[in-house]
Amino acid sequence: MPGFTTLAIPGPTNMPFEVRAAMDVALEDHRSPDLPSFVRPLLADVARVFRTKDGQIVIFPSSGTGGWEAAITNTLSPGDRVLIPVFGQFSHLWADMCRHHGLDVDVIDTPWGEGAPLEVIAERLAADKAHKIKAVMICHNETATGVTSDIAGVRTALNGAKHPALLMVDGVSSIASLEFRMDDWGVDVAVAGSQKGFMLPAGLGIVAFSPKALNAMATAKLARSFFSVSDMLKSTAGGYFPYTPAMTLLRGLRKSVDMLLDEGLDEVANRHTRIASGVRAAITTGWGLKLCAVAPRWHSDTVSAIVVPEGIDANNIIRIAASDYQLSLGSGLSKVAGRVFRIGHLGWMNELMALQAIAGAEMAMRDSGVKIAPGSGVGAAQEVYRAHKRAQRAATFKEAAE
């Protein structure tokens, strides 16, 4: 079938043509004398995307999962207690990785559809008088359920308890898309991946470490080799890497970071909010369906998980969307498998691209037996997008008149 497949999953995301072009280069010598003039500014500008002046950026040829492992192995020791709310598949997997590394995992079981429970976190920290908890680990944006948690609130809980635990954040589907302020929120380790907000293929685990996290490396006893941050920092200080880097991806990263900074990080976050607002209007106002995220305070601006009506198999909707309409939708994972499908709306995305996904999902749902009116979701989203553009035009004319 001619034309592009519409990619509407929460990662990998659509890749800008400028990023593709930046990676379409001859392979190069990663020991070249001029490599430091490329690597050092790149690391500095990636730090700007994380909004950190104090943190150190480390880029591994891996995925976000590798970033998780780097976060824990470089800062913790066997038997250390970590506190982690589990409210979706990815927070569950990070907790499971901690168990594999011999950590004492204190899980806060949270209903899927809610985010990190600040009150419970504050209670656990206040009760930990001996400071046995060495890290609090939060999935900022849980793509399995379309839920975003309040990271600044977690830092407030830590400060309120005067607790020295590290704050580690999985920002794989939030950094470079949602508002993320590493220094302002007191985040000690932040993990991102190349295939979401950074608009690249999978293959880079991008991790930022605060000075406090770097100090913790001096006593950390978990084994690490490939993911050794100290080895990486020794090399990148000179503008090189301790082993072969993924240079084509790094060239693409240079272009994607330029695009993010040129747009402005505030506007990147605002754009994601606008697009997400239209998708949510399609789901709730247009289709009359529910989000997996149970309250507006949890709504994610990068992915929406849609709960299908009783008796409908969400996987059938996904199959029809792919086979009949060249539309890739995200599937439900683990506890919500078959009960939800997901629309990703992050990265290189605009309103019309979101409308494509909404229209395709609408057709696939109707073909699967979901009782919705044709055009209902598309129309609801259009009204949200048109209202924003009208307000934008009015503001522009007012400024011009003044």
> Which of residues 262, 292, 321 is at a domain's end?
262
Label each residue of 296-345 as H, E or C.
HHHECCCEEEEECCCCCCHHHHHHHHHHHHCEEEEECCHHHCCCEEEEEC
| Parallel/antiparallel/unpaired status of strands 189-193 and 166-170 | parallel
CA distance 40 to 234: 13
Is 8 among the domain residues? no
The segments of the chain whose pLDDT lies below 70 read 399-402
Q: What is the number of helices (H) and of strands (E) in the chain?
A: 13, 14
Do 81 and 171 sit in the same domain of this protein?
yes
pLDDT, position 398 = 72
Same domain, 254 and 270: no
Domain that holds residue 86: 17-262
Same domain flag for 246 and 273: no
Both 286 and 232 in a single domain? no
Quick one: pLDDT at residue 8? 97
Domain of 227, CATH number, reads 3.40.640.10
User: Do the domain assignments include residue 22?
Assistant: yes
| DSSP letter for each residue of 224-263 | -STT-HHHHHHHHTTT--SS---HHHHHHHHHHHHHHHHH
Say if residue 272 is in the same domain as residue 136.
no
Q: Is 240 within the bounds of a domain?
A: yes
Among 262, 292, 325, give the residue marking a domain's end.
262
The reply to whether 193 and 281 lie within a common domain is: no
Residue 141 — φ and ψ, nearest 5°? -130, 110
Q: Which residues, other chains included, contact 323 with Cβ-Cβ below 8 Å and sequence gap of 6+?
A: none
Q: How many structural domains comprise the chain?
A: 2
Does 4 map to a domain?
Answer: no
User: Residue 36, preceding bond cis, omega within 30 degrees?
Assistant: no
Contact 132, 81 (CB under 8 A): yes
CATH code of the domain covering residue 341: 3.90.1150.10
In degrees and rounded to multiples of 5, residue 183 shows phi and psi of -70, -45
346: left (phi over 0), alpha (psi -120 to 50) or beta: beta
Tokens 């109707």 appear where? 366
Same domain, 206 and 67: yes
| H or E stretch at 89 | helix 89-100
pLDDT in tens, 217-267: 999 999 999 999 999 999 999 999 999 999 999 999 999 999 999 999 999
**Residue 393: predicted pLDDT:** 85
Q: Which pLDDT value is given to residue 400?
A: 67
Q: Angle at the Cα of 4 (from 289 to 360), degrees rounded to 5?
A: 20
Residue 74: inside a domain: yes
CA–CA separation, 381 vs 358, rounded Å?
A: 8
- Whether 195 is covered by a domain: the verdict is yes
Report CA-CA distances (Å) from 203 to 26, 178, 193, 221, 274.
Answer: 18, 21, 8, 27, 29
The pTM assigned to this predicted structure is: 0.96
Residues 285 and 374 in one domain: yes
Residue 84 included in any domain: yes
Q: Rounded distance, CA 166 to CA 382, Å?
A: 43
Going by C-alpha positions, the residue among 309, 308, 310, 327 that lies closest to residue 318 is 327
How many other β-carbons are positioned within 10 Å of the β-carbon of residue 28?
14
- Residue 398: phi, psi to the nearest 5? -65, -45
Do 84 and 158 sit in the same domain of this protein?
Answer: yes
Residue 296 structure tokens:
């507006």
Beta bridge partners of 56: 209
Q: Is residue 147 one of the residues assigned to a domain?
A: yes
Does 168 share its domain with 238? yes
162 and 40, same structural domain?
yes
Q: 119 and 241, same structural domain?
A: yes
With contact defined as beta carbons under 8 Å apart, do 136 and 168 qualify? yes
**Please, which residues have CB within 8 angstroms of residue 238's CB and are 6 or more apart in sequence?**
36
Picking from 193, 227, 262, the residue at the C-terminal end of a domain is 262
